[in-house]
Amino acid sequence: MPERDVTVGQLLLTEYQTLKDEQKTRIGFRDNLLYVTLTVVAAVIAAAAQAKQPAMLLALPPVCVVLGWTYLVNDHKISAIGAYVRAELGPRLAVLAQAEGDEVFAWEVAHRTDERRLSRKAVQCVVDLLAFCVVPSGALVVYWAGGAVSAGLIVLSVMEAVAVVGLGACIVRYAVPFGAGSAVG
């Protein structure tokens, strides 16, 4: 029987490292999306105020929805990687190493048992809703209350409002414990 150049354990460890690299990249990208959102919001508000054109605020909802959705998708993938490592990769490596399941990649489980994890997740949900939903909703309210609204922009703004509400529902659904999105969180 010929010797193997690569073992299953080596392949699993390579997969683990590749997944952790992807997770690290996604975390950095996701976290920067909040800063990008704040920058865009400030720029649009400043431009609308300087030009005295409330209609310019209608740029905020689509931008915030796209950035918020991208944030949410990356957050979900980050959690999915962690869940895969805990449920699939760790146990397979534990069998190969003849170790107890909780001895492999212990950090993947340990950091999830922090007593303040639930409160941090709740605060993060509020921050996400503020950045990606409340701010663009406020822009819509300012536009609607501004008086000089056109029929076409009203239709557009209502569609934007629906998109913002939809994103908000997704953010809450993924943040709620035992919700549809939390199985991997």
Give pTM, 2 decimals. Answer: 0.86
Domain boundaries, the chain: 8-175
Q: Is the confidence at residue 27, as pLDDT, over 60?
A: yes
Q: Is the confidence at residue 43, as pLDDT, over 70?
A: yes
Q: Is the confidence at residue 47, as pLDDT, over 70?
A: yes
For position 1, what pLDDT does the model report? 54
% of the chain exceeding 90 in pLDDT: 68
Neighbours of 158 (CB within 10 A): 12
Question: How do residues 79-111 score in pLDDT, each as one tens digit?
Answer: 999 999 998 998 898 888 887 656 777 788 777
Question: How do residues 5-19 score in pLDDT, each as one tens digit?
Answer: 778 889 999 999 999
CB 164 within 8 A of CB 61: yes
Q: Mean pLDDT across the chain, nearest whole number?
A: 89
Q: What is the mean pLDDT of residues 22-42?
A: 96
Q: What is the 3-state secondary structure (H, E, C) of the chain?
A: CCCCCCCHHHHHHHHHHHHHHHHHHHHHHHHHHHHHHHHHHHHHHHHHHHHCCHHHHHHHHHHHHHHHHHHHHHHHHHHHHHHHHHHHHHHHHHHHHCCCHHHCCCHHHHHHHCCCHHHHHHHHHHHHHHHHHHHHHHHHHHHHHCCCCCHHHHHHHHHHHHHHHHHHHHHHHHHCCCCCCCCCC
Q: What is the mean pLDDT of residues 15-33?
A: 96
- Name the pLDDT band for 23 (thresholds 50, 70, 90): very high
Question: How do residues 55-87 score in pLDDT, each as one tens digit?
Answer: 999 999 999 999 999 999 999 999 999 999 998
- Name the pLDDT band for 35 (thresholds 50, 70, 90): very high
Question: How do residues 148-161 score in pLDDT, each as one tens digit?
Answer: 788 999 999 999 99
For position 183, what pLDDT does the model report? 42
